[in-house]
Amino acid sequence: MEYPFYLEQKFFDAGRLETRTLTAQEAEALNYEDGHTAHGEGYTLYVDGYNSLEAIQLSGRVGGHKTGLCGAVRRKGVCAR
């Protein structure tokens, strides 16, 4: 796996958001990798990799996908502007 931690975000059509942080092992068991997207019934799933739990928290990422919040691609928990 490319990163030790992954942030899984489910954006539901009704406006609800569910997030969970996964270890690399958990993400691998779900066949996730950095940049993974999928569509389920009533939701869109995004998975992004991070170098640390702190990077997830500091990036302000919960609620926005890598290309969404800062208008540029985020890599390794940093907005690449």
CA distance 33 to 61: 17
Tens of pLDDT, residues 48-70: 999 999 998 887 655 555 544 43
- pTM across the whole model: 0.73
Distance CA 14, CA 32 (A): 24
Give me the pLDDT at residue 1, please. Answer: 86
Q: What is the pLDDT of residues 2-47, one digit of tens each?
A: 999 999 999 999 999 999 999 999 999 999 999 999 999 999 999 9
